[in-house]
Amino acid sequence: MDGTTDIVSAALGLSFELLVRTVPIVVAGVLIAEVLIALKITDRIASVAYPVTTFSHLPRECGASFLLAFVSPQAADAMLVDYHRRGMIGRGELVVAALINSFPSVVMHWRYLIPVYVPLLGVFGLIYFGILMGIGFLKTGIVMAAGRVFLPGVPASGPPEKSSGPTPSVREALRASLKPTAKTLRRILGIMIPTIVVVAFLVEAGVFDAVAVYLEGASRLFPIPPEGLAIVAAKFGSYVAAASLASGLLAAGDMTGRDIVITLLVANLLTSVVTYLRWLGSFYAAIFGPRLGAEIMILSVVLQDGLLLVTIFLLAWFW
């Protein structure tokens, strides 16, 4: 009984922590979307991302969401949901835009990868980072090409023009945005809160730890030396621990730079599965709904990890 009580207590604490971190961001994303619409400046902001949205056959409103994703992917996705609810974008456009919105988070990896991996691993840290960026670019390019092929597109003769008509003040825009924001948030939070609570219980019950142990064992199926298994195991705990261990093995001559890079990519591949299941899956389901969220998550995982898997074996064969 005490064990069950401890799990429940820990899960409730984790749920509270996740909700505190997530809900304000989602609220901000929906509110920003509504305010931008009310102020009639969506087109002006979206013009910066005009090449991305035009090539992908996405409405110009998706450009504002893409730019916001460099600051907060969750807020950007909440903005897309709000546009979809208002009928400004269709379901297919929502899926394509959401997949493209994952690119900024890949680019922003430099904030923590470069300060750790480059000092510890030197040129091989840069190679590892460059490969991840290249995969991110390629994934986004594939999604953009798919949008161009499968989406009908929107008629446009050039970059968006400034919206005509009187523009309300910021205070008026905020006042006009409150009601539609509340309506959208009721639907999103109605899914988000129970989803995050369920995920927190699964985390504290050790479900995802069991998956991680299984995936650590699966690392033996990849072209990495036995010493690399320790790096994979360390990556499940912390990317800093994995980089530190890899640095020590490289300095000692136990692993070559080539093996270090391939091992880190394998570790990235295996840990990403747990990350999607444990955290990102709950956010996708909470923001987009269980069915659509699962579809977007699966497409993202297949593209990202599929490209990473191909890269691993190409490096093993030709490097």
The predicted pLDDT at position 239 comes to 79
Q: What's residue 213's pLDDT?
A: 66
Domain locations in the chain as residue ranges: 206-318
* Amino acid 278: pLDDT: 65
pLDDT of residue 142: 95
Report the alpha-carbon distance of residue 105 to residue 96 in Å, rounded: 16
Let me know if 209 is exposed, middle or buried by CB neighbors in 10 A (0-12, 13-18, 19+).
middle
Q: Which residue has the tokens 């142990």?
A: 213
pLDDT score, position 158: 47
List the structure tokens of 139. 């994934």
Q: How far apart are CA 168 and CA 182, in angstroms?
A: 20
pLDDT at 265: 93
Q: For tokens 């050790």, name the residue.
A: 206
Predicted pLDDT of residue 279: 61
- Render each residue's pLDDT in the chain as its tens digit; 319 residues: 566 777 778 878 877 877 787 778 778 877 877 777 677 665 566 666 778 888 999 988 788 888 878 777 877 888 898 888 888 899 999 999 999 988 877 776 666 677 788 888 889 989 998 999 899 899 999 999 999 999 986 554 444 444 455 667 777 777 877 887 787 777 777 777 777 777 777 777 776 666 666 666 666 778 888 878 888 888 877 778 888 888 888 887 888 999 999 999 998 888 887 777 766 666 777 788 778 888 888 898 899 999 999 999 999 898 8
pLDDT of the residue at 249: 83
The pLDDT score that the predictor gives to residue 111 is 66
